[in-house]
Structure 1
């Protein structure tokens, strides 16, 4: 049987990406953050890992894989994430009454904040 152990995000600056995602998710580095690789784990030890890998691949405008972050307080979390360095993405494909907002991390990786109220 398989299970997902880590979602890997590409970054041109692993240190910067690791700082953002650590603060965004409340995660901590599993080991020392390297120039080319970092693994972040939940501070309470429960949940999926997020890894950051050095990459020179350009950011995809419409990525095939992305993170969905669930919250019951979307406006507050979006403001917090913007304060950490995320940016809003001008997303052309929003449905008429979306329950999500598309943001990008400081590296340009897209992710969604999902309203779970």
Structure 2
């Protein structure tokens, strides 16, 4: 068993609480589905947002989903580098799995596909 990091990112159009929640839930659902994981196997989730997203904590969106009550979550701000992708939410799900590093499916959605086009999977 290995502890692996699964990367994911998405963007929202507006700094709006419900839009942040919806995008975060969509991203978590896709990351877990593509990697066949359940909350019980997740060590923790790190969530970062760009400085222009302050309407909500994305961790609240994860908590709203069934089974995520006891998974440790941490929200933080991204470093505000000039020219970085605006209104971006990034996740790092750390999971216990038998999968090798090359078997992990990293998920980049919406405008965030530009961050890692080599890893982005478009549904």
State TM-score, norm by structure 1. Answer: 0.33
State TM-score, norm by structure 2. Answer: 0.32
Higher helix share: 2
